[in-house]
């Protein structure tokens, strides 16, 4: 009789652990997204919807060098290049940078750009209001497209940061890939 109660108790404990593991796995993606938004990991940061006129005051005497880096994962038959390699910006003002992306294949391909900002502390002060990285991008066969990112460097950027690198890596999108 004691063996049956032990089996029942063990089964209940294992069932509870299974339910907890499933719940943890289900909650892991939203928790990771919140973590990335808070820390700025992988360039994920809350999107600023503040207009230029509502923006905090512009640091008139300060300039920051923003460098642009573009990469394409080896699995994606695209070419990507920033129209400008670097740009001098004033914290508090909005700027636009354009990247040219070309599909080298004879069929349609969907890609997703993953941004990264370095140094990592600068990601907290780099705000994108518009970016091609927000959604998957479809390029038709042999199509070339200009893609824009609209950004602001916050005026509260630490003085020690004089150069920021904005890097994009395009990967083949899982949904709708060809």
- pLDDT tens digits, 72-92: 998 899 999 999 999 999 999
Question: Is residue 70 domain-resident?
Answer: yes
Does the predicted TM-score (pTM) go above 0.85? no
Query: Domain span at residue 109?
Result: 64-172
Residue 79 shares a structural domain with residue 164: yes
CA 38 to chain centre: 13
Domain shared by 20 and 72, yes or no: no
Q: What is the pLDDT of residue 44?
A: 52
DSSP for 113-154, written as a single string: EEEEEESGGGGGTEEEEEEGGGS-EEE-TT-EEEEEEEEEE-
The number of domains in the chain is 2
Residue 76 belongs to domain with CATH number: 2.60.370.10
154 and 104 together in one domain: yes
Whether residues 20 and 70 fall in one domain: no
In a domain, 177, yes or no: no
Do 158 and 129 form a contact (C-beta atoms < 8 A)? no
76/158 same-domain check? yes
Cα(23)–Cα(25) distance, integer angstroms: 5
Q: Are residues 28 and 76 in the same domain?
A: no
Per DSSP, 46 falls in state P
Band (22; pLDDT cuts 50, 70, 90):
confident
**Is residue 41 predicted with pLDDT exceeding 90?**
no
The verdict on 70 and 148 lying in the same domain is yes
Q: Would you tell me how many other CB atoms lie within 10 Å of the CB of residue 60?
A: 10
DSSP 175: T
Phi, psi of 154 (to 5 degrees): -65, 140
- 105: which 2 tokens? 């294949």
Do residues 32 and 83 share a domain?
A: no
């Amino acid at each position: 009789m004691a063996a049956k109660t032990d089996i029942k108790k063990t089964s209940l404990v294992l069932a509870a652990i299974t339910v907890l593991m499933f719940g943890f796995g289900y909650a892991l993606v939203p928790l990771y997204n919140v973590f990335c938004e808070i820390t700025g990991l992988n360039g994920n940061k809350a999107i600023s919807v503040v207009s230029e006129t509502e923006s905090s005051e512009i640091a008139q005497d300060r300039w920051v060098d923003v460098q642009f880096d573009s990469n394409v994962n080896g699995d994606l038959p695209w070419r990507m290049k920033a129209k400008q390699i670097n740009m001098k910006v004033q914290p508090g003002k909005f700027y636009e940078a354009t990247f040219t992306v070309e599909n080298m294949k004879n069929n349609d391909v969907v890609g997703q750009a993953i941004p990264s900002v370095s140094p990592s502390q600068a990601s907290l002060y780099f705000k994108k209001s518009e970016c091609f990285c927000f959604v998957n991008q479809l390029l038709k066969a042999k199509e070339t497209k200009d893609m824009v990112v609209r950004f602001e460097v916050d005026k509260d950027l630490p003085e020690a940061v004089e150069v920021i690198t904005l890097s994009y890596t395009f990967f083949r999108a899982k949904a709708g890939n060809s």
